[in-house]
Structure 1
Amino acid sequence: MNQQHQEDLAHIRSMMERSSRCISLSGLSGVFAGLSALIGGLYVFQLFKANGIEYFGGQQIYVPASLVSQLFVTGVIILICAFVFGLLFTIRKSKKYDLPIWTSATKKMLFNLTIPLLAGGIFCLALLYHQIYGFVAPATLIFYGLALINAEKYTFSDIKYLGFCELVLGFISLFYIGYGLVFWIIGFGILHILYGLIMFKKYK
């Protein structure tokens, strides 16, 4: 009887976990989002080189308006790729383990994730408008970190550790403005891949 009670409690606990948290997120989505960021970052380095900009030359970089638009488009493409990969792997995991995708927990997670991201997006657009390009990379890391921390209570709690890492990396990059792209690649590329692999191994 005692064993039956323990099994019932475990089942109830599992049901409560499913109803209160979005647990259909896949670690592979983080891996492929990170790979997208790495590829995008390397492409940006090539853009700098093609425009005669020596990124590690130790001098202040002048970014022409035509290049800014290319960088913006590249960023949007990376964002779309990360979103598509996240959606595909989440659907794949939900079908494999018979998990619901669109639940009240999912809605709350997206809401809490979107608010800091939207605020950060508007802030970055203002930086671009005023041609303050050096703070764009740190701002994206900082607001993204805040978004992950804010959404943690509605998904895997592990995501807050990635959020704090992004936040700290963003703060550090504020003092190394000329190397924003390097910090951006580390934050959105390498950290995403490491986090995705850890999550995949832990929750596969």
Structure 2
Amino acid sequence: MNQKHQEDLSHIRSMMERSSRFISLSGLSGVFAGLSALIGGLYVYQLFKINGINYLDGEHILLDGNLVSELISSGLIILIFAFVFGIFFTIRKSKKYNLPIWTTATKKMLFNLAIPLAVGGIFCLALIYHKIFILVAPTTLIFYGLALINAEKYTFSDVKYLGFSQLILGCISLFFIGYGLIFWIIGFGILHILYGLIMFKKYK
């Protein structure tokens, strides 16, 4: 009888978790988002090299309009790839485990995720507008970290650890101005891959 009660409780907990949290998030989304960021970051480094900029020499970098446009385009392409991979692996996991995708929890998670991302995006546009390019990379890390922490209560609780890691990394990068690309590659590339692998192993 006790065993049956435990099974019933376990089933109830599972149903409550499904209704209150977005659990279709796949660890592979993080892995492929990280790979996209890693490849994109290395491409940007090569872009600097082609334009005669030695990024690692610690000197102040002057960016012309064409290079800024290429950097923005590269960032958007990375974002699109990460978004597409996220949708693909989420749908794949949902079908595999017969999980609903568009639920109240999904809407709440996306809303809580979108607020810091939208504000961060506007702040980054203002930095670009005022030609303060040097703070764009730290800003993206900080606001992305805040977004993950804000959305954590509607998905896997492990997301907050990635959020705090991005937030801390972004704050540290503020004191190493000129090396934002390195921190950006670590945060959006390496940390995403590590987090994705851990999540995939834990929740597969």
Give the shorter-chain TM-score range.
over 0.9
The aligned counterpart of 2:119 is 119
CA distance in 2, matches of 1:186, 1:3: 47
**Seq. identity, %:** 80
Alignment root-mean-square deviation, CA: 0.5
Q: For residues 23-42 of structure 1, what are the structure 2 equivalents within 5 Å?
A: 23-42=23-42
Map Cα deviations across residues 31-74 of structure 1 (whole Å, 9 max, x no partner). 00000000000100111011111111221111111100000000
The aligned counterpart of 1:79 is 79
CA distance in 2, matches of 1:57, 1:33: 28
2:38 counterpart of 1:56:
no
TM-score by length of 2: 0.99
CA distance in 1, matches of 2:173, 2:2: 55
Runs of 4+ in 1 over 6 A off after TM superposition: none
Q: Which amino acid aligns with 1:26?
A: S
CA distance in 1, matches of 2:2, 2:58: 69
Number of positions where the alignment pairs a residue of Structure 1 with one of Structure 2 = 204
Q: Which amino acid aligns with 2:141?
A: L
The aligned counterpart of 2:141 is 141
- What's the offset of the Cα at 1:2? 1.6
CA distance in 2, matches of 1:148, 1:22: 13
- What's the offset of the Cα at 1:190? 0.1
The aligned counterpart of 1:131 is 131
Q: Which runs of 5+ in 1 are unaligned?
A: none
CA distance in 1, matches of 2:53, 2:201: 41
- What's the offset of the Cα at 1:146? 0.1
CA distance in 1, matches of 2:97, 2:191: 26
- SS state at 1:31 partner: helix
CA distance in 2, matches of 1:101, 1:59: 48
CA distance in 2, matches of 1:39, 1:193: 12
- What's the offset of the Cα at 1:140? 0.1
The aligned counterpart of 1:203 is 203
Q: For residues 161-180 of structure 1, what are the structure 2 equivalents within 5 Å?
A: 161-180=161-180
TM-score by length of 1: 0.99
